[in-house]
Chains A and B, each alone.
Chain A
Amino acid sequence: MAALTPSYRLSVAARALAAIVGGYALTALASFAMAIFLPLSRAEASMTATLSSFLIYACVVIWVFAARTTWRAWAGIVGSMIVLGALVWLQRQVAAS
């Protein structure tokens, strides 16, 4: 068993935070984007996005704990959120104009 050094503990805490809070935020944004971009009726797109959200969340959590370093895990979460957020923002701008 690895020694429970302070840096190990910090790394676990940072990953848990990335998985639980970061993972939820990313999932929320992903299902928001899916609901907008899926080529289905409004209701069906919302339904599909919500139904698949838990699968997305689980995959994000697994990935966070499998990532080689904690930095990578956080970078992956934040990076995906920036991309998705930009797409949603663009779509909203286009829809409003």
Chain B
Amino acid sequence: MKEGFRQSMAWLHTWSGLVVGWILFAVFVTGTLSYFRPEISQWTRPELRDVKADANAASKTIATLKERAPNSPRWFITLPEAREPIVRVTYRDPNGGGEGRRGFKTAWLDPSTGEEVKARETRGGDFFYRFHFELSMKPIWGRWVVGFCAMFMFVAIISGVITHKKIFKDFFTLRPRKGQRSWLDAHNAVGVLALPYHVMITYTGLVTLMFMYMPWGVQANYGDNREAFFADATGVAEEVKPANQPGVLTDIEPLLHEARTRWNGAHAAFITINNPSDINSRITIRRDTEGQLANSNRNVVFSGTTGEVLSVAGEPAPASQTRAVMFGLHMATFSSTTLRWLFTLSGLGGILMVASGLVLWTVKRAPERAKLGYTPFGHRLVEVLNIGVITGLPIAVAAFFYANRLLPVALADRPAWEVRVFFAAWLLSFVLPMIPPARVAWTTQLVAGAALFAALPAVNALTTQTHLGITLAQGNWVYAGFDLTMLGIAALLGLTGWYASRTPGSRKPAQRKAPEALNLPAEAERA
């Protein structure tokens, strides 16, 4: 490492990218899927097809909760919205045995009746959402691993930019069918094309969990009293203790009206009711994020018995607002459908950037293999991991959706089985890549992934009443859009597979072009 600044940055870019590339690929894929977390959650519960949002959903829900769990210390109510037109309630089950945290239980209610809708047990879109930052590991471990990789990614982006003298020119340069050069050009093009997005999504991703990764700034001023910090920074009122005197909740509808007037007509997204059957009850109504960049505290707090307004969240201070905007940018819940698809395209750009970077590592080392006359273990390992991760993850995602449709509805522990199917399919995807030549494994598994996604709408048609024949006719775009997107993914994977099958294997042309590699631009030298 006695070379110049740019060379050491190229070195840093190559190695920091390789070490975490596989995990980043999975994080990018599941993160991009998570833009559609509500839609995936809907599709994985075909029983919810005909549920419609209702203006009186809140009062009907509260009536149901009064009956079911009057003594729960808290009720959480997620109100229906266009993308997920159903009520989700979380409360402490009086019969105990709730599986969630501290005996809390979640149920889905029909907004127009307040009755529980029985849907199949599944983790739905939440699986990909949690995987995105926890990797299905123990939460703390997973979050640290993802944070570590995100930090590497941030360094890789900065060093990647420094490596490119001619970043603007590179963006317009694609030399197809030139082996290594084409891969480098492709990596540059997708990387630079969505560069602002990559910088934004990496940094804001770190910011979402920043108090866990970097607790020191809070520690300096608040010691271990983190609640005091959050009260100062976000203005969330502290909880009141129950008075242990029975109280009756006032009607919710006027309170919703009051809150909406204060928000210039914006909708309410969540209602939290503390101590619902006590005289010290509190009703907190939270604004939805639609059209709002900042994901900050947007609560109006009412006294539960009198309906008096106790506090209204104001504009946060600049640094808190900055954090709220960064958080909101990462979650992208503010966006319209068009903007969400643009985010998705950028996410796809990220997926391609990571994948092409990983492939580039092996392609770049083809001359070295040619010189040695054999493939060193390290090269082989990277190749197998590349194929298993890049082609195997789409197969695993498809397998998850198949499990959702094909596992018996009554199966005990059903959500866990869906996850097991996901990982089993992914593990199996590492078998074929172990048998050379690599090109066969690339092509076969990409085409297999394409076939699985292409057949998914058909399997959906055979197993549910939420297939395209019905949903398109009804104009139910959540379900129809899902099926159509699966066909789109199938087309993309198929195209990639077709391309992989007809591109000459990386070894031969590289041998032919080995002398040319010496004339590569300086930035590629140590890549």
Which residues of A pack against B, CB within 8 Å?
1, 8, 11-12, 15, 27-29, 31-36, 40-51, 53-55, 57-58, 61-62, 65-66
Among B7-15, B132-140, B431-439, B494-502, which stretch is in contact with chain A?
A: B7-15
- CB < 8 Å: which of B155, B210, B221, B222 contacts A53? B210
Bound CA–CA A57/B147 (angstroms): 13
- Residues of B within 8 Å of A12, CB to CB, are 1
Tell me whether A35 and B220 are in contact in the complex, defined as CB-CB below 8 angstroms, given that A44-B317, A51-B319 are known contacts.
yes
The answer to whether A61 and B217 have CB atoms under 8 Å apart is no
- CB < 8 Å: which of A32, A44, A54, A65 contacts B319? A44
Bound CA–CA A42/B159 (angstroms): 34
The answer to whether A31 and B319 have CB atoms under 8 Å apart is no
The answer to whether B233 and A47 have CB atoms under 8 Å apart is yes
Tell me the nearest residue of chain A to B217, going by C-beta: A49
- Residues of A within 8 Å of B218, CB to CB, are 35, 46, 50
Is B5 an interface residue, CB under 8 A from the partner?
A: yes
Is B403 an interface residue, CB under 8 A from the partner?
A: no
Bound CA–CA A15/B16 (angstroms): 13
The answer to whether A45 and B221 have CB atoms under 8 Å apart is yes
Which residues of B pack against A, CB within 8 Å?
1, 5, 8-9, 11-12, 151, 154-155, 158-159, 162, 203, 206-207, 210-211, 213-214, 216-222, 229, 232-233, 317-320, 322-323, 326, 368, 526
Bound CA–CA A34/B319 (angstroms): 13
- Residues of B within 8 Å of A15, CB to CB, are 1
Tell me whether A32 and B154 are in contact in the complex, defined as CB-CB below 8 angstroms, given that A51-B322, A54-B203, A62-B12 are known contacts.
no
Instruction: Looking at the assembled complex, report how far the CB atom of B248 sits from the nearest CB atom of chain A, in whole angstroms.
Output: 37
The answer to whether A50 and B217 have CB atoms under 8 Å apart is yes
| A15, A33, A35, A55, most chain B CB atoms within 10 A | A35
Instruction: Looking at the assembled complex, report how far the CB atom of B364 sits from the nearest CB atom of chain A, in whole angstroms.
Output: 10
Tell me the nearest residue of chain A to B1, going by C-beta: A11
Instruction: Looking at the assembled complex, report how far the CB atom of B525 sits from the nearest CB atom of chain A, in whole angstroms.
Output: 9
Q: List 27 A-B contacts (CB under 8 A).
A: A1-B526, A28-B216, A29-B216, A32-B219, A33-B220, A35-B216, A35-B217, A35-B221, A46-B220, A46-B222, A47-B217, A47-B317, A48-B319, A50-B210, A50-B211, A50-B214, A50-B217, A51-B319, A53-B216, A54-B151, A54-B203, A61-B155, A62-B155, A65-B8, A65-B9, A65-B159, A66-B5
Q: Given A1-B526, A29-B216, A35-B217, 11 more contacts at CB 8 Å?
A: A31-B214, A43-B229, A44-B233, A49-B217, A51-B207, A51-B210, A54-B203, A54-B206, A54-B210, A62-B158, A66-B8
Tell me whether A32 and B229 are in contact in the complex, defined as CB-CB below 8 angstroms, given that A47-B323, A54-B206 are known contacts.
no
Bound CA–CA A12/B207 (angstroms): 29
- Residues of A within 8 Å of B368, CB to CB, are 1
Bound CA–CA A35/B220 (angstroms): 6
Instruction: Looking at the assembled complex, report how far the CB atom of A81 sits from the nearest CB atom of chain B, in whole angstroms.
Output: 13
Bound CA–CA A63/B265 (angstroms): 50
The answer to whether B154 and A40 have CB atoms under 8 Å apart is no
The answer to whether B319 and A40 have CB atoms under 8 Å apart is yes
Instruction: Looking at the assembled complex, report how far the CB atom of B30 sits from the nearest CB atom of chain A, in whole angstroms.
Output: 21
| A1, A29, A50, A57, most chain B CB atoms within 10 A | A50
Bound CA–CA A66/B159 (angstroms): 10
- Residues of A within 8 Å of B323, CB to CB, are 47, 51
Instruction: Looking at the assembled complex, report how far the CB atom of A36 sits from the nearest CB atom of chain B, in whole angstroms.
Output: 5
- Residues of A within 8 Å of B322, CB to CB, are 47, 51
- Residues of B within 8 Å of A27, CB to CB, are 214
- Residues of A within 8 Å of B229, CB to CB, are 42-43, 46
The answer to whether B158 and A66 have CB atoms under 8 Å apart is no
Bound CA–CA A51/B1 (angstroms): 32
Instruction: Looking at the assembled complex, report how far the CB atom of A25 sits from the nearest CB atom of chain B, in whole angstroms.
Output: 10
Bound CA–CA A55/B213 (angstroms): 13
- Residues of B within 8 Å of A57, CB to CB, are 151
- Residues of B within 8 Å of A11, CB to CB, are 1
- Residues of A within 8 Å of B213, CB to CB, are 54
Bound CA–CA A56/B207 (angstroms): 13
- Residues of B within 8 Å of A1, CB to CB, are 368, 526
The answer to whether B233 and A43 have CB atoms under 8 Å apart is yes
- Residues of B within 8 Å of A28, CB to CB, are 214, 216
Instruction: Looking at the assembled complex, report how far the CB atom of B457 sits from the nearest CB atom of chain A, in whole angstroms.
Output: 42
- CB < 8 Å: which of B203, B206, B318 contacts A44? B318
The answer to whether A36 and B319 have CB atoms under 8 Å apart is no
Bound CA–CA A43/B323 (angstroms): 12
Bound CA–CA A33/B317 (angstroms): 21
- Residues of A within 8 Å of B154, CB to CB, are 54, 58
